[in-house]
Structure formats: C-alpha cells, structure tokens
Amino acid sequence: MVRITTDEAPAAIGPYSQAWLAGTTLYISGQIPVDPVTGEIPEGIAAQTAQSCKNIGAILREAQGSYANVVKTTCFLADMADFAAFNNVYETYFTSKPARSCVAVKALPKGVLCEIEAIAVIEKEKERFSVRIS
C-alpha cells in the first residue's frame, strides 16, 4: 500500500490521509472545498463544488491518474436544494460518469456546502512512488 499526499490539495484536517493506493485501487478521502494555497473556502455551491473537484484532481495527478480513472464517488451536500447546481459543475469534471451516491447531511466540516470522496483504478506500477508502507 502507498500513502498518496500532495501539497496541491489541502492537508487532512484530522487523523486520516488524503488517499491510499492499495494495489491498483486509489481511495481518496472526502475533499472539502478548501483552497490548498490560501486555506480559503469559496462562496456558493458552484465554486465549492469546483474546488472540491480540483482537490480530487490534484490527488489523482499525484497518483498518476486522472478523472477518467474514477469509478465511484460519494457526494455529501449540506442542502439538497443545491443538487442541480452541484451536478452542473460535477459533470464537467467527471465526464466518464462514474458510479455515484449523493446524500444530504446535517453539516460538513468548516461549514462547507459539499464534500466529495472518490475511488479510482490506477493501472500503473506502484514502484513509481517514494513513500511505501510495509
């Protein structure tokens, strides 16, 4: 197994990793819309969805993958009234239409409006990574 970490996505805000690659399966922890450079959270569901997707993209790139490698996402919305606006942005990133669940939650960390976690299949040799967990 290989822990995947990048400065291009926000650091974990709890006792978890950004992602783990187990074999060819990449498990990406839920990404909230925090800008990794400024630490700021954009306003509105469209901008927040885009930032969450960009954070996932950064982790995918670190694992030498892309959005096309994503096979499943789980999306959390603080308000299902944002569902259509969320989808409008989401579909511009996940054009391969991975399997997905989208659920409403009472609240999300830092008061954000959305969070997205993803599972991807990365079919490359994991020896390319410098950090290994035995």
Question: Is residue 22 within 8 Å of 132, Cβ to Cβ?
Answer: no
For 83-96, the DSSP string reads HHHHHHHHHHH-TT
Question: Is residue 51 within 8 Å of 42, Cβ to Cβ?
Answer: yes
For residue 75, the cross-strand partners are 102, 116
* Residues with a known catalytic role: 102
**How far apart are the C-alpha atoms of 35 and 47, rounded to whole Å?**
11
**Beta-carbon neighbour count of residue 74 at 10 Å?**
15
